[in-house]
């Protein structure tokens, strides 16, 4: 399978890089228990719903990959799909809608597959795209409140390279965005606008957005994002470019990018096309995540020792 970006209260005005407009956010940070310390990509804080519930995944000190859910009161619980009986475990959550359904991928040890799953109120449902061969990995990454969903599928015949899949109004499509070797969908709103990112032939990441009426795809690159892949500190491998993780019903988009020093920054793209940076105060790097319809953004950040923590960013006014 291809390499994935598995990512106190402060009031702070974000510093902008050239061509980015500053935006004021209030930051709340919190640790996610059991995430391995000083380990690259040990935490992914994926999205937040309109009620304030947050989902994501973590890697513990025994290399177990587990999902977590944080309720609006701040309580965090971990979960693993009951069909995932391997050691270490592999159950990763990426998406959440406002009906309380979380989605992700897990190892089904009884079937020898890597299907997606849906999780709601303690109940798991296995998800597989139709007509896919044995051994397929199905990254179910996002769903809206209408029953539309999207993600990435990787098959043995395709050397486990990711291709985007979309299901809109019950119609499933599988395709490579812009012909890329690896492409995936990470967000879909109730207007059926889908977003994600892909890697070009040089391994550089680019964000994308799909128009549901025409099916056309536009590329989104943050101004100031590095245009050559390089060694990214605290990420454990080489990265560069722009990755998108969420879109809300107002058309606001979130994600992260790497600058010329290969440090990561979160970003928000407003509906009017303005980019805003997100840098948690005191953080060495900031990774992006998803957002809700109030414009509240979640993600993770790291200190200089590569310890990972979660953040909630609340905008002051509209961005």
Nearest to 94 by CA among 290, 316, 311: 290
Mean pLDDT of 7-30: 52
Q: How do residues 255-291 score in pLDDT, each as one tens digit?
A: 999 999 999 999 999 999 999 999 999 999 999 999 9
Domains and CATH numbers, the chain: 9-315 (2.120.10.30)
Range 172-200 burial, b when 16+ CB lie within 10 A, else e:
eeeeebeebbbbbbbbbbeebbbbbbbbb
Edge-first strand order for the sheet with 24-30 is: 9-13, 24-30, 308-315, 297-302, 285-287
Q: How far apart are CA 305 and CA 19, in angstroms?
A: 30
User: Residue 284: its pLDDT value, please?
Assistant: 97
pLDDT band at 317 (very low <50, low <70, confident <90, very high): low
Dmax (CA) of the chain = 52
Sign of CA dihedral 45, 47, 53, 56: negative
131-to-125, 158, 213, 256 alpha-carbon distances in Å = 18, 15, 26, 34
Q: How do residues 94-140 score in pLDDT, each as one tens digit?
A: 999 999 999 999 999 999 899 999 999 999 999 999 999 999 999 99
Q: How do residues 29-46 score in pLDDT, each as one tens digit?
A: 999 999 999 999 999 999
Q: How do residues 76-105 score in pLDDT, each as one tens digit?
A: 999 999 999 999 999 999 999 999 999 999
pLDDT greater than 90 at residue 18: no
């Amino acid at each position: 399978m291809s390499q994935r970006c598995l990512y106190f209260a402060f009031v702070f005005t974000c510093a902008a890089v050239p061509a980015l407009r500053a935006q004021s956010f209030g930051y709340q940070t919190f640790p996610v228990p059991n995430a391995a310390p000083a380990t690259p990509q040990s935490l992914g804080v994926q999205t937040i719903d309109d009620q304030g519930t947050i989902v994501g995944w973590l890697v513990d000190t025994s290399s177990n990959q587990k999902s977590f859910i944080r309720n609006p009161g701040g309580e965090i619980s971990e979960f693993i799909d009951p069909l995932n009986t391997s050691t270490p475990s592999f159950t990763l959550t990426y998406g959440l809608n406002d009906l309380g359904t979380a989605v992700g991928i897990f190892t089904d040890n009884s079937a020898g597959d890597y299907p997606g799953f849906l999780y709601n109120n303690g109940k798991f449902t296995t998800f597989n795209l139709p007509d896919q061969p044995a051994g397929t990995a199905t990254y179910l990454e996002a769903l809206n409140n209408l029953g539309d969903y999207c993600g990435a599928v990787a098959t043995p015949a395709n050397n486990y390279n990711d291709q985007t899949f979309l299901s809109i109004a019950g119609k499933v499509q599988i395709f490579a965005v812009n012909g890329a070797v690896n492409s995936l969908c990470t967000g879909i709103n109730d207007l059926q606008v889908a977003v994600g990112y892909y890697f070009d032939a040089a391994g550089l990441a680019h964000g994308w957005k799909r128009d549901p009426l025409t099916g056309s795809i536009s590329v989104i690159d943050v101004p100031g994002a590095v245009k050559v892949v390089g060694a990214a500190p605290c990420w454990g491998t080489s990265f560069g470019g722009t990755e998108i993780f969420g879109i809300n019903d107002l058309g606001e988009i979130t994600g992260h990018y790497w600058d010329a020093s290969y440090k990561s920054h979160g970003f928000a793209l407003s509906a009017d096309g303005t980019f805003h940076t997100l840098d948690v105060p005191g953080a060495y790097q900031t990774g992006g995540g998803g957002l809700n319809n109030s414009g509240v953004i979640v993600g993770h950040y790291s200190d200089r020792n590569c310890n990972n923590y979660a953040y909630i960013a609340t905008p002051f006014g509209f961005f």
